[in-house]
Chain A
């Protein structure tokens, strides 16, 4: 068992590549063993944690929640059928009894269809805003033009934009004229030196904006 766990751990780390066949052996083992399946889950979680790749919100047991939600739902009773007595159907029905998960899967599909139908129904009774809600600081990167970011009085808008552009241009210039000395490794220190206003005035004149 411990050997299996070790193999699994190596596989998750991407270091299980001694023989090509062995990884499929591990996967076969995982398939048949619930304890290993638990390990599979936790190892991946640990790996993501170590690599700092965890998402902000983690849904550990979305499958469990769906199952729970389904259990608490009222049972849907099927009308009695007479064709159950047919010999062919009688043979097929035991298939459905093989595992509970099959029934769950089917009802998930049904639930989803119902859900989609409900979502798609237009809700005209409720008053709604055509304008999207104003959000706070956005971390996203869609290019933003500044007069749209926040409502500013129109007369100030032009002024503000001009001011912002001034800062942006200056920032670009500062980066362009930044100099860095890499002295030898022992005494290396950063010595940035940004040229002052007088020295660069002739260049500024010609800088494309």
Chain B
């Protein structure tokens, strides 16, 4: 009797399985259709690159005010306000404000970026992007990523109450973390961004909670007096150094963007420094003669999203830091060789 009952129940379940799976799909398809109908004809929706171009254009040219939250493992959520405007003369103005705690405020007027941070005298840098929690270069020049990454259209969904287009950005040689971005169907602005590891585990997330696009720039920008902003910190151009070491392995699309000898502010040690960048992540490589140093153990770990790897490699002590898989950091460190 019991077996009969069981059989009946399980028979029903198995028969109904396709339905159970299919039902959400179906309702999803329907809701998608209704919400996207008005906009789907006005924009190219067929190519991921077209979407990235649209986003890049929107980021540079629209007047918007975006609230977002940055989420990292093991750290409190960090809410930000991000505003952008273009005035009558075509001058770009941008503001990024950390809303919790003593805060951190960054204002960009054209090519001058001013940083106001607690415990540090305000300073300005001559730069076209804000060094913020999001990869500004991706927003402004997505085409630079094409060397090392592939853009893949995924589908549409609803993010922050708006119709969104999802695009996956994956590294071509699988040597770096991937990104999932959701762009607003209407404006092309960012609605959500997930950085994912190689097993698709979530590493870092930006979730937009409010998005307003306006005709006029935010009144905040009218109040800024460009003359009152701190002076630009002048760089003395780093002289080319002659180093016997070369990195033989660089992940696809990654280039050396800076190289110099530096004295570490904490310990006073002199190290050779190399910065690598692919437009999405920046990697620091430190090289130190191990003979001048006590023998150091090999070590690998993760600090928030950054991977830190330090190994003994021949006569060098190599440390690699950045948002990249430990295996890639190891490959970079191990590829360093002396040139003759």
Contacts and interface: CB of A to CB of B under 8 A. Distances in A.
Interface residues of B, number: 98
Interface string B29-57: 11011000000000000000000000000
Contacts of A53: 200
Contacts of A96: 3-4, 7
Contacts of B7: 95-96, 102-103, 105-106
Contacts of B265: 166, 169-170, 173, 201, 204, 207
B152 interface: yes
Contact of B6 (A30, A109, A190): A109
Contacts of A31: 18-19
Interface string A166-187: 1111110111111111100000
Contacts of A73: none
A192 B144 CA distance: 14
Interface stretch (A117-125, A126-134, A138-146): A138-146
A182 B141 contact: yes
B73 A142 contact: yes
Contacts, number: 244
Contacts of A150: 297-300
A197 interface: yes
A42 interface: no
Contacts of B330: 137
B304 A143 contact: yes
A9 B296 CA distance: 57
A31 B17 CA distance: 10
A139 B127 CA distance: 34
Contacts of B233: 195, 199-200, 203
A2 B164 CA distance: 32
Contacts of B260: 194, 196
B11 A179 contact: no
A75 B131 CA distance: 68
Q: Say which size band chain A's interface belongs to.
A: 35 or more
A203 B199 contact: no
Given A141-B302, A181-B111, A182-B129, A206 B119 contact: yes
A14 interface: yes
A5 interface: no
A207 B233 CA distance: 16
Nearest to A24: B26
Contact of B301 (A102, A146, A170, A201): A146
Interface in B115-142: 115, 118-121, 123, 125-129, 131, 136-137, 140-141
Contact of B22 (A27, A98, A203): A27
A14 B275 contact: no
A179 B123 contact: no
A152 interface: yes
B235 A193 contact: yes
B243 interface: no
Most buried by A among B199, B273, B301: B301
B266 A169 contact: yes
A164 interface: yes
A95 B6 CA distance: 11
B30 A20 contact: yes
Contacts of B4: 92-93, 95-96
B236 A196 contact: yes
Interface in A20-66: 20, 23-24, 27, 30-31, 37, 50-53, 55-56
B11 A171 contact: no
Interface string A152-169: 100010011011111111
12 contacts: A99-B11, A102-B8, A105-B10, A141-B304, A143-B302, A150-B297, A162-B267, A174-B275, A179-B126, A192-B277, A193-B235, A199-B235
Interface of A: 11, 14, 16-17, 20, 23-24, 27, 30-31, 37, 50-53, 55-56, 89, 92-93, 95-96, 98-99, 101-103, 105-106, 109, 137-144, 146, 149-150, 152, 156, 159-160, 162-171, 173-182, 188, 190, 192-204, 206-208
